Amino acid sequence: MNLLWLQSGGCGGCTLSWLGAEGEPLFVTLADEGIELMWHPSLSEQSAGEARALLAACVDGRRPLDILCVEGAVLRGPNGSGRFHMLSGSGETMLSWLRALAARARHVVAVGTCAAYGGVTAAGVNPTDACGLQYDGDAPGGLLGADFRAGGGLPVINIAGCPTHPDWINETLIALARGTLLHEDLDDFCRPRFYADQLVHHGCPRNEFYEFKASAAKPSDQGCLMEQLGCKGTQAHADCNTRLWNGSGSCLRGGYACIRCTDPGFEEPGHPFAETPTVAGIPIGLPSDMPKAWFIALAALSKSATPARVRENAKADHILRAPTVKKAGR
Amino acid sequence: MIVKRLIVGPFNRVEGDLEVTLDVADGTVRAAYVNSPMYRGFEQILQGKMPADALVFVPRICGICSVAQSAAAAQALGGAMGVTPPANGRLAANLLLAAENLADHFSHFYLFFMPDFARAAYCGRPWFADAEQRFRALTGSAVGPALPARAAFMHLMGLLAGKWPHTLAMQPGGSSRPLQASEKIRLYRLLREFRRFLEDTLFGDRLEAVAAIDSVAALEHWAAARAPHASDFRRFLGIAHDLDLARFGRGGDCFISYGNYPQDAGRMFPAGVWDGSLRLLDTDDIREDVSHAWYAQAEGPQHPAQGATVPLADKTGAYSWCKAPRWAGRVVETGALARQVVAGQPLVRDLLASGGANVMSRVVARLIEIARVLPAMEAWTEQLRPGEPYCVVGEMPREAEGEGLVEAARGALGHWLSVRRGRIHSYQIVAPTTWNFSPRDAQGTPGALEQALVGAPVGDGEEAPLAVQHIVRSFDPCMVCTVH
């Protein structure tokens, strides 16, 4: 299978994340799975005319296009012209190139939340009228329209994340190359379910603090970030705390809130990112599938049961009080 | 004289989108026009946001300079709030920024720059067979192992920043990630692991020995001491000598650095301007000109604290989304070369004195910087004091101004913030490649790359001249930062 990767209204961070893939060299993995990296703007030898010729051959069908990966949002402005991003050297908008190439591709993959839903590029006043390949925020549509199906029969596969995780890309591409990624393997926002059926909360190292609602008050505190510092890990669809980033990391392990970056619209949460909006002290965003009354009841109960160790450690940047060591025979 | 126009794009193996237009006559570039063809509008997006939310948005300007953008924002916010990170926070910030800068230099060398010497056009050169098997894009024998080495080095980010790119660990008051004693050991070990790769593969020598090379003569002596294939740096030096890369891409004579890596007193690399002698840098002397950029014109060039970003796609005479920053009205170059000449690194001073900024001196400066900074990272790791604070908190006043100045891998990065009624009123960003790849200004003076391309040789039938590719990539441009 060949793979063409293009970048539009984004930061290139998903490519950089991808290059941090663990284990054997990335290009060895791809080759071993029969994936030929036909062209990537950061990595391939071919420049200028050589690259344009390759894209043109894909558009007119002289060269089959198995997987089209797009990183970055589609820029529709100004005034629907797409001129906020011209594919350099071509005199054409990237928007028109993407539309033409998607029509030829067997699979279309949106790499990252920008390409999937618009993402950060669509934030604020959305200066460039940015959208995703098949979504405009959480509304189906985007560049290609809700009914779009690639040659292989699937809608656009949204490897959402800001950035996305290198394994999410590789495991999706490998499943496509093996023919094992089916429509039912995508969730309601067309994200691969192998990671989107998980919650960031799963495997959170702050879980004991969460259980007792022992909360951090400031960055660098060890406590739970949900109650005050904006964390949405209990609602966010991803496996960040079981898969881990750059060896041993995750947002929570880095000491800061999950901002739910795999979701459409995460860029405009309607409140400061690092503050939890509450009504009468209760967070508006409750853990997934948890009835509010139960959350309130459990929170009140667990707070009253919080061990001093957990309460004190929550507001410190190192362990003040270690768990008691039980001696045998006592 | 027949002038032929070449439009080179997509210009790949740079970060983001770039188009270069060349007027060519008699086999030489006579004029160049650099176009940054994509606009996203982060300065517009940030207007009206809560100030602290800048920490979410600005790293997402750029996936390769993400931490540098975070650092500049944290500094601008911290200045507006009047908070200063504690020692641990400062050391953590230094480690993060240094890791990103070194990883970027490393990626530039192996992924972006060297693959051009594996092009078939060089098949007649004596070094070609070796360069082709070593540096060929995607499949070269150096490229494969460089990726896991880089990924292992970036475990520093997992440890200190949660992830890379796009961390929120860099806060105005310090770091959200308090490293503990055993984690210091892990951090130190991964730095030593990367050192081993650099010493065995990239340099073929101790980092300290490379950093101590103090003149062009000493560099030649060092290169000749072992065979070219003894290390990738020596390979580069051999190729550079054969192709005489020092005569390509001659830049101007003025260099700017905001300085990097604050220490107890001063910065490891001080701030300044170099134009044959060292000058004090006053950021009040910076102006951005939009005469040839697709933005509404204010009355003359503006200081970034007063600047605005109003896109105007149909503006006559404009040819780029990049603004044209100038220092005291002058075109300046920024990057590792500028940083090291301002910092007084003797080899880089000598390279500039003998041949100015060019393809060879830009690449050498980057590699020398790797050799200088990794040992400093080892020392900073030892200086972390678990148990002492990593972060302090502060309040953002309802009315405030802030300036954040850091050295990203590619050079001087500045953020200018103003807060009104508790929200971001204005947020202006001048990125390194905004300096280097600026279009012409109101006087018609071309930007740094536009000047460096003049005189580049163009072979018969070359549509994307190799010399031009070497010159452009020698700047290691980051186009997503450039326009933002």
B188-215 pLDDT, tens per residue? 999 999 999 999 999 999 999 999 999 9
Q: pLDDT-based confidence at B293, cuts 50/70/90?
A: very high
Question: Does the pLDDT of residue A23 top 80, yes or no?
Answer: yes
For B247-264, what is the mean pLDDT? 96
Question: Does the pLDDT of residue A282 top 90, yes or no?
Answer: no
For B342-364, what is the mean pLDDT? 98
Residues A156 and A240 both lie in one domain: no
Cβ–Cβ contacts within 10 Å for residue B18, how many? Answer: 29
Paired sense of beta strands B255-257 and A74-75, if any: unpaired
CA distances from A243 to A198, A200, A238, A249 (A): 11, 10, 9, 9
Report the percentage of chain A scoring pLDDT > 70.
100
B43/chain A closest Cα distance in angstroms: 10
Question: Does the pLDDT of residue A248 top 90, yes or no?
Answer: yes
CATH number, position A102: 3.40.50.700
Q: pLDDT-based confidence at A330, cuts 50/70/90?
A: low
**CATH (one of 3.40.50.2000, 1.10.645.10, 3.40.50.920, 1.10.1660.10) for B4-483:** 1.10.645.10
Domain's final residue, options A150, A174, A196: A196
Domain's final residue, options A196, A219, A234: A196
Q: Does B17 touch chain A (CB under 8 A)?
A: yes
pLDDT of residue B86: 98
**Does residue A238 sit in helix, strand or coil?**
coil
Question: Does the pLDDT of residue B2 top 90, yes or no?
Answer: no
For B458-480, what is the mean pLDDT? 97
Whether A225 is in a domain gets the answer: yes
Domain's final residue, options A166, A196, A226: A196
Test A17 with B63 for CB contact under 8 angstroms: yes
The C-alpha atoms of residue B168 and residue B396 are separated, in whole angstroms, by 18
Q: Which of A111-125, A283-297, B142-156 has the lowest mean pLDDT?
A: A283-297
pLDDT of residue A328: 82
Residues A141 and A265 both lie in one domain: no
Question: Does the pLDDT of residue B1 top 80, yes or no?
Answer: no
For A204-217, what is the mean pLDDT? 97
Test A17 with B164 for CB contact under 8 angstroms: yes
Whether A113 is in a domain gets the answer: yes
Residues A192 and A86 both lie in one domain: yes
Question: Does the pLDDT of residue A240 top 90, yes or no?
Answer: yes
Tell me, letter by letter, the H, E, C secondary structure of chain B: CCCEEEEECCCCCCECCCEEEEEEECCEEEEEEEECCECCCHHHHHCCCCHHHHHHHHHHHCCCCHHHHHHHHHHHHHHHHCCCCCHHHHHHHHHHHHHHHHHHHHHHHHHHHHHHHHCHHHCCCCCHHHHHHHHCCCCCCCHHHHHHHHHHHCHHHHHHCCCCCCCCCEECCEECCCCCHHHHHHHHHHHHHHHHHHHHHHHCCCHHHHHCCCCHHHHHHHHHCCCHHHCHHHHHHHHHHHHCHHHCCCCCCCEEECCEEECCCCEEECCEEECCCEECCCHHHEEEECCCECECCCCCCECCCCCCCCECCCCCCCCECCCEEEECCECCECCHHHHHHHCCCHHHHHHHHHHCCCHHHHHHHHHHHHHHHHHHHHHHHHHCCCCCCCECCCCCCCCEEEEEEEEECCEEEEEEEEEECCEEEEEEEECHHHHHCCCCCCCCCCCHHHHHHCCCECCCCCCCCHHHHHHHHHCCCEHHHHHC
Q: pLDDT-based confidence at B50, cuts 50/70/90?
A: very high
Question: Does the pLDDT of residue A329 top 80, yes or no?
Answer: no
For A157-170, what is the mean pLDDT? 98
Q: Give the chain B residue whose CA is nearest to the CA of A46.
A: B12
Q: Does B422 touch chain A (CB under 8 A)?
A: no
Of B271 and A283, the structure prediction assigns the larger pLDDT to B271
Whether A325 is in a domain gets the answer: no
A124/chain B closest Cα distance in angstroms: 5
Instruction: List, in sequence order, every residue forming a beta bridge with B420; answer none if it has no partner.
Output: B423
Residues A153 and A228 both lie in one domain: no
Test A25 with B145 for CB contact under 8 angstroms: yes
Report the percentage of chain A scoring pLDDT > 90.
94
pLDDT digits over B423-467, tens only? 999 999 999 999 999 999 999 999 999 999 999 999 999 999 999
Of B455 and B298, the structure prediction assigns the larger pLDDT to B455
Residues of B in contact with A47 (CB under 8 A): 8, 10-13, 464, 469
Domain span at residue A255?
Answer: 205-316
pLDDT of residue A254: 98
Residues A185 and A280 both lie in one domain: no
Looking at chain A from residue 51 to 80, which residues have their Cβ under 8 Å from any Cβ of chain B?
Answer: 51-52, 75, 78
pLDDT digits over A107-156, tens only? 999 999 999 999 999 999 999 999 999 999 999 999 999 999 999 999 99
Q: Does B464 touch chain A (CB under 8 A)?
A: yes
Residues A159 and A225 both lie in one domain: no
Q: Does B163 touch chain A (CB under 8 A)?
A: yes
Q: Give the chain B residue whose CA is nearest to the CA of A260.
A: B56
Instruction: List, in sequence order, every residue forming a beta bridge with B245; answer none if it has no partner.
Output: none
- Split into its structural domains, chain A has a count of 2
For A276-292, what is the mean pLDDT? 89
A154/chain B closest Cα distance in angstroms: 29
Residues A188 and A243 both lie in one domain: no
Please, what is the Cα angle at A192 between A191 and A194, to 5 degrees? 135
Residues A65 and A209 both lie in one domain: no
